[in-house]
Amino acid sequence: MTEQLQKAQQALEANRARIDHTYKPRYHLSVPAGWLNDPNGFGFWKGKWHLFYQFHPYDSVWGPMHWGHWSGENLMQWREEPVALAPDTPSDAAGCFSGTALAADDTLYVIYTGVSEETPGGRQIQQQCMAESQDGIRFTKWTENPVIGRALLPEGACAWDFRDPKIERMGDGYRVVAASRGEQGGQLLSFRSEDLRTWRYEGVYAGSLGEMSECPDTFELDDKRVVIVCVMGAKDEHLPNSQPVVYMVGEERDGAFLPDTVMKGVDWGHDFYAPQTALAPDGRRILIGWALGWGQVQPTHTLGHGWAGMMTLPRECSQRDGVLYQKPAKEVLECRRTGGALPSMEVQGRRTLPECAGACREIEMTVDMRQAKRFTMNLMETGEERFVLNYDKATEVFSADRAACGYPLTEDGTPEKDPCVKVKAPLKAGKLKLHVFVDVSIIEIYLGDGETVLTCLAYPKAKDYGVSVQAEGLARVEALSSYAMA
C-alpha cells in the first residue's frame, strides 16, 4: 500500500468517528466520511458487484480525488472496501478522476483520468491511466501510465479537459470513449486498442455537447445504442438544468454515434449527475447516479456533520421507441420491511396519510385525475415544513419544491434561487402514476412507467416525516401502497 493510500485510509477512520448521522440515508449508499461525487468503475466481477466513487477522505468538500470502494453480492447490501486509488504517481499526482471498469477472467481493470501536476498550457493536464487488481481490492497502477496520453488527442482538443473514460470490449479489442473539449465545445472522442496497452485515436464519437461534456456512458439497450452524458453549459429549455444529464438513442456507424432522437433529460430532480450503468449477470442494465450536482452545497458540510455525498438507488433501464425508462431495481423492492396495500380513497381538500409517514418509506399510488385540476403530495411534513410534489392538469406540469423544507443547499444558508424543479408529464388515460422513495434526506420520484424520474435532496429540520395529499377537485387515489424501508 502506498503512503498516500495509507494516509487516506487513516483519515477516513479518524473522520468516521466524528460523523453526525442525523441526515444519513439508510437504504441509499452514502460516503462513510468526507466527500463523494461520481460513481466510478461500476460493474460485476467474480460473483460480486463493485462500485467505486470519487472520494475526498480529508474533508466533506471536494478535494484531491481518490477512489473509494464498495462491493456486494446484491445491489443493496454493500460492504465498504479499502480506498482503492490515491493520487500517488506522476501521472495522477493532482487526482484520480472518474473512470470505468473492465471485468476480465482473473483481473479487474479500471481506467481513470489521471490529473497531473504538469501545467503546460497553464492548467493541469488530464490523461487516461490504468490500474488492475487480482483480488478486486488492491489495485496496482500501470507503470506505462498514461495509456491514453495527450499526444493522442486530435488537433484542437484541450489537454486539460480530457476525462472520464468509458471502456468497452468491442469484438476482439477494446474501445474507450472519453469526454473532451474541442474547438466547437463538448465532444466525445473514441480510442481503440487490441491489448489495452497501445491505443490509437479513432475519431469523434459524438459532438455538439454544450461547452464541455463529462462522464459519458454508452451501451446497447433493447437493440439500440444509448449514450448518456453530462452536458455543461447546455442552453435548452427542454432539458433539466444548466448542467443536465442527457440521453440519446441511436446507432453506431463507422465508429461514431448517430442519434435518432434529440437529447432528453435522464433525471429532472435538483440533484443528479454523472450516472454510470453496468450489466447485471441476468442481462439487466443497472444505472446508479450521484445524487447532487455541481453548484449545490450540502448542509451536512456546512453543519459540520463530516460527510457529504450519496448515490441514487440502483435503477433498471429499458428503452422503447427512443424513450429511456428507469425503474427501481428489483433488489430495492426486496428491502421492504413492513407495510403493503392500503384502501383506495377519494381526496377533496387535504388529507393526512399517517400510514405513509416515516423517514424511510416507499409510497406508490395511481391518481385518477379526471375530476381533479390539481393534486399535491406533501412529504417530510412537520408544521410549516414540507417538500411539495404537485401535478397541474391544465399545464401537465409536475413539480418538486423544497423551498419550505429545512436547510437550503446554499453556502450561507440563504434561500435557493430555484428551489422548485418542473417537468412536463402528460397523464396516461387521465391517471398519474407516482412511485416515491423517501430516505431521511433524499427523495426519488418515478413517474408513469419510469419515463420521468426526479432525484431531490432535502434536509428537514423537524423529524416527523409526515405525509399528506391534497386535491383541487376530486382525485381518486387507487393502488395505494406504502412500505417501511429500513
Per-position x/- string for 283-322, each x denoting binding to ligand FRU as judged by CB under 6 A, each - no binding: ----------------------------------------
Per-position x/- string for 25-64, each x denoting binding to ligand FRU as judged by CB under 6 A, each - no binding: ------------xx---------------x----------
Cβ of residue 57: shortest distance to ligand FRU, in angstroms? Answer: 13
Q: How far apart are CA 252 and CA 230, in angstroms?
A: 20
Query: Whats the size of the chain, residue-wise?
Result: 486
**Among positions 226, 228, 274, 288, the unique one binding ligand FRU when judged by CB under 6 A:** 274
* Using rule CB under 6 A, residue 214 touches ligand FRU: yes
Helix, strand, coil % in the chain, rounded to nearest 5: 5, 55, 40
* Using rule CB under 6 A, residue 129 touches ligand FRU: no
* Residue from 289, 291, 299, 443 nearest 360 by CA: 443
Cβ of residue 293: shortest distance to ligand FRU, in angstroms? Answer: 8
Half-sphere exposure of 327 (CA within 13 A, CB side): 13
* Residue from 129, 110, 130, 103 nearest 69 by CA: 110
* Residue from 283, 274, 307, 281 nearest 15 by CA: 307
Q: How far apart are the first and last CA of the chain?
A: 36
Q: Which residue is nearest to ligand FRU (CB)?
A: 97
* Using rule CB under 6 A, residue 273 touches ligand FRU: yes
Nearest residue (CB) to ligand FRU, 121 versus 294: 294
Nearest residue (CB) to ligand FRU, 38 versus 331: 38
Which residues does residue 454 pair with via DSSP β-bridges, in sequence order? Answer: 445
**Among positions 164, 271, 331, 401, the unique one binding ligand FRU when judged by CB under 6 A:** 164
Given 20, 38, 161, 217, the catalytic residue: 38
Burial 458-481 (b: 16+ CB within 10 A, else e): bbbeeeebbbbbbbeeebbbeebb
* Using rule CB under 6 A, residue 113 touches ligand FRU: yes
Q: How far apart are CA 28 and CA 5, in angstroms?
A: 26
* Residue from 200, 178, 83 nearest 133 by CA: 83
Nearest residue (CB) to ligand FRU, 214 versus 362: 214
Nearest residue (CB) to ligand FRU, 35 versus 70: 35
Active site residue 92: no
If binding means CB under 6 A, how many residues of this protein chain bind ligand FRU? 13
Q: How far apart are CA 249 and CA 262, in angstroms?
A: 8
* Using rule CB under 6 A, residue 364 touches ligand FRU: no
Q: How far is C-alpha 332 from the geometric centre of its chain's CA atoms?
A: 16
* Using rule CB under 6 A, residue 161 touches ligand FRU: no
Element (H, E) at 78: none
Cβ of residue 447: shortest distance to ligand FRU, in angstroms? Answer: 25
Question: Rounded to a whole number, what is the largest CA-CA distance in the chain?
Answer: 68
* Using rule CB under 6 A, residue 15 touches ligand FRU: no
Cβ of residue 479: shortest distance to ligand FRU, in angstroms? Answer: 37
Site for ligand FRU in 63-82 (CB under 6 A): 65
Q: How far apart are CA 43 and CA 111, in angstroms?
A: 13
Cβ of residue 164: shortest distance to ligand FRU, in angstroms? Answer: 5
Nearest residue (CB) to ligand FRU, 363 versus 457: 457
Q: How far apart are CA 470 and CA 348, in angstroms?
A: 7
Instruction: Tell me which residues touch ligand FRU (CB under 6 A).
Output: 37-38, 54, 65, 97-98, 113, 163-164, 214-215, 273-274
Q: What is the set of active-site residues?
A: 38
